[in-house]
Structure 1
Amino acid sequence: MATIVFLHAHPDDEASATSGSMARAAQRGDRVVVVFATNGDHGEVPKSLHPGETIVERRRSEAEAAAAVIGTQRIAWLGYKDSGMTGWEMNDAPGSFWSADLDEAANRLAKILDEEDADVLVGYDWHGNYGHPDHVKVHPVAYRAAQLARRRPRVLESTTNRDAMVRSFQAAKEAGLQIDFDPTGPADDGNPMGTPEAEIHWVVDVRDLTDVKRRALLCHASQASDVGMLTGMPDEVFAQSFGLEHFREHGRPNGMVAGWPFTPLHTP
């Protein structure tokens, strides 16, 4: 069995991006660890906060609830602040993930990789799927941490299949949903979301686990705008949108393969 570490920018990113693969791995008997780079303090602040409760505390409790749904065995935090969207003054604020020294952040992650003797590390594609500064920063931190770890893990990049997303949004519109979004248009950094299908190496079928993904997303209820939009999709549209998870792997030949990429590259 493998130990798989998933690095995500904010609590709730794991639910939408990789919770199906995480749940599948847990079912297989693999050890699943999620690491959050930031505390998500610039996320949506709900009116339901209890007296004295902070948004950081709420998002930590939501991450724990989602982990229980997914089957994640450990949650770890790199300890950085949310950097906000591109161009926000928080990008360069002291303690933000975006402004963090690369080796410092990578060493924090490498320590976790060593503690876990990780076989596989999952980060993001080069522009973090949609250009959010924290998502973009995940990419170099993951690769540098893998270099610094005692036993270099296999590195995968979670991404979004841009072509499939176009098909899903078309299906959503045909189902009567009003979605004011163009998946081929510029995202937070000016690039379109995700990766063209021709540049993706792995697709993992988690259509039988879309209920787990929906329940994991619902755990992050404080982020009502995004979570509400996603979980409000009809079941068939949600399954089409979130039933396949996509990954890139540096060095592999072109061609998307349906399979299970979370196996170790080496044996102890």
Structure 2
Amino acid sequence: MAELPPILAVFAHPDDEAFPTGGTLAHYARRGHPVYLACATRGEAGQLKDPTLTVEDMGAWRTQELEASCRALGIEPPIFLGYRDSGRNERLRRDDLQALHNANLWEVEAKIRDLIAALQPKILITFDPHGGYGHPDHLVVHRAVAAAFYSSGYLPHPPQRLFYSVFTIERATAMQQSGQADSILGGLDPKVFGVAENTLAVRMDVQSYLPQKRAAIAAHRSQFADRIQAMNANLERLTLMEQMLSVETFALGGTRGPITRWPLQDLFDGL
């Protein structure tokens, strides 16, 4: 029996995979697809959100969290690209030459293209053009992955589709109106950082993968502990999060073949 085609997801930090794509990655892994996750950094600039933890090396700690998340989702162990977390806003590491936002974009693209050549994924997944919520590292990864999708066309087995993980305008608006002061979209225009419904290429119902997805989120305890505690204390926020966790949405960033219907039924529809 032939092996099912691989998927490669590329993100910037440990935890980027859990909320927006965890159910989708778990779904395809369970179906037998090799599912790989490349992470540009080890999340060194992350802020410790769980005061009960003693963390001396944030990068090493978050590496272990990402490894645990991958096990929970049933996907391959993470692949690290070797850059440092840039932080953002007032914590932006402007003088760190190893920080991802200071990296040579062509070098980042080349590393991703090398992974494509080695793993031969049929599907690529990454951030949308706004980097989800404008994080500088997310923007670098988006640009590098999009560039690698196109520059890998000469390879014997280039990826056939590139997908962006996206929020809809309605979901982005609901996140803000729920009173989540710590929302990643706080203060951002939902019409800019979200997408219209007719932009969605795929809407994945991942309700049946919520146990794996919750376990992946829980693995990132250093980053999510305070948010999970706040949600559990507020039924409205918990209900909204349950709705968000159950559906994952993707826009189409590129294709090497015809799209015969819209929207697609899943990432491989028509391939």
For the superposition of Structure 1 and Structure 2, which TM-score range results when normalised by the shorter chain? 0.7 to 0.9
Shift of 1:55: 0.7
Bigger helix fraction: 2
Quote the residue 2:54 is aligned against. 49
Shift of 1:230: 5.7
Name the aligned partner's letter for residue 267 of structure 2.
P
Q: Work out whether residues 130 and 191 of structure 1, in 8 Å CA contact, stay in contact via their aligned partners in 2.
A: no
Aligned with 1:77: secondary structure? strand
| Equivalent residue runs for 1:143-222 within 5 Å | 143-149=146-152, 150=155, 151-153=157-159, 154-167=161-174, 173=178, 178-180=179-181, 186-187=187-188, 192-222=192-222
The change in CA–CA distance for 1:217 and 1:256 in structure 2 (over 3 A counts) is farther
- Which among 6, 24, 30 is matched to residue 3 of structure 1? 6
Aligned with 1:5: secondary structure? strand
Does residue 1:261 correspond to 2:264, yes or no?
no
Shift of 1:152: 2.2
Output the CA distance in 2 between the equivalents of 1:212 and 1:123: 20
Shift of 1:202: 1.5
Shift of 1:137: 1.3
- Which among 83, 103, 111 is matched to residue 100 of structure 1? 103
Q: Work out whether residues 88 and 136 of structure 2, in 8 Å CA contact, stay in contact via their aligned partners in 1.
A: yes
Deviations 1:211-251 (A, max 9, x none): 22111100000113445456766564332122111111136
Shift of 1:182: 7.7
Output the CA distance in 1 between the equivalents of 2:31 and 2:186: 38
The change in CA–CA distance for 1:40 and 1:132 in structure 2 (over 3 A counts) is same
Output the CA distance in 2 between the equivalents of 1:230 and 1:102: 38
Name the aligned partner's letter for residue 64 of structure 1.
E
Quote the residue 1:245 is aligned against. 248
Quote the residue 1:109 is aligned against. 112
The change in CA–CA distance for 1:143 and 1:251 in structure 2 (over 3 A counts) is closer
Name the aligned partner's letter for residue 35 of structure 1.
A
TM-score, normalised relative to structure 2? 0.82
Deviations 1:170-220 (A, max 9, x none): 5xx4xxxx5336888643x99853323232222111122222211110000
Output the CA distance in 2 between the equivalents of 1:102 and 1:217: 30
Q: Work out whether residues 72 and 215 of structure 2, in 8 Å CA contact, stay in contact via their aligned partners in 1.
A: yes
Name the aligned partner's letter for residue 266 of structure 2.
W
The change in CA–CA distance for 1:75 and 1:230 in structure 2 (over 3 A counts) is farther
Output the CA distance in 1 between the equivalents of 2:182 and 2:138: 20
Q: Work out whether residues 133 and 185 of structure 2, in 8 Å CA contact, stay in contact via their aligned partners in 1.
A: no
Shift of 1:67: 0.6
Shift of 1:86: 3.8
Pairwise CA RMSD of aligned residues?
2.9
Aligned with 1:112: secondary structure? helix
Of residues 229-238 and 95-104 in structure 1, the stretch that sits farther from structure 2 once superposed is 229-238
Shift of 1:155: 0.9
Aligned with 1:246: secondary structure? strand
- Which among 4, 14, 19 is matched to residue 17 of structure 2? 14
Of residues 256-265 and 6-15 in structure 1, the stretch that sits farther from structure 2 once superposed is 256-265
Segments of 5+ residues of structure 2 without an aligned counterpart are: none
Output the CA distance in 2 between the equivalents of 1:229 and 1:91: 32
Does residue 1:72 correspond to 2:75, yes or no?
yes
Aligned with 1:203: secondary structure? strand
Segments of 5+ residues of structure 1 without an aligned counterpart are: none
